[in-house]
Structure 1
Amino acid sequence: MRGHPADALREAGKDASMLVVGSRGRSTARSMLLGSISHGVLHHAPCPVAVLA
């Protein structure tokens, strides 16, 4: 797929049971933050979203 990653993931989510995205970092503090892609998918996905640290 081409385009912005969040848009591509949301498009893929139309036919998915769930989308899985990662959090922003590996350290304890950073893993609590969402990156822009995860944030965009989480709030606008057409299906459930799991955010993994």
Structure 2
Amino acid sequence: YLKKEQGGSLGSSIKWNFTKFLVDQDGKVIHRYAPTDTPESIEKDIEALVNKN
């Protein structure tokens, strides 16, 4: 489901198991992050989503 909803630079495939997805409370994929993205680098996106709801 996640691969279908938010493709990446390699299409819908997942390069490794460290690919991250930001999903809202309704299960909608908001963003897909590369395995090289750190949790700290996506913190603002997470906070924005939490504060939005």
**Would you tell me which structure has more helix in proportion to its own residues?**
1
TM bucket (normalised to shorter chain) is under 0.3
Which structure has the higher relative contact order (CA within 8 Å, separation 6+)?
1
Q: TM-score, normalised by structure 1?
A: 0.25
Q: TM-score, normalised by structure 2?
A: 0.25
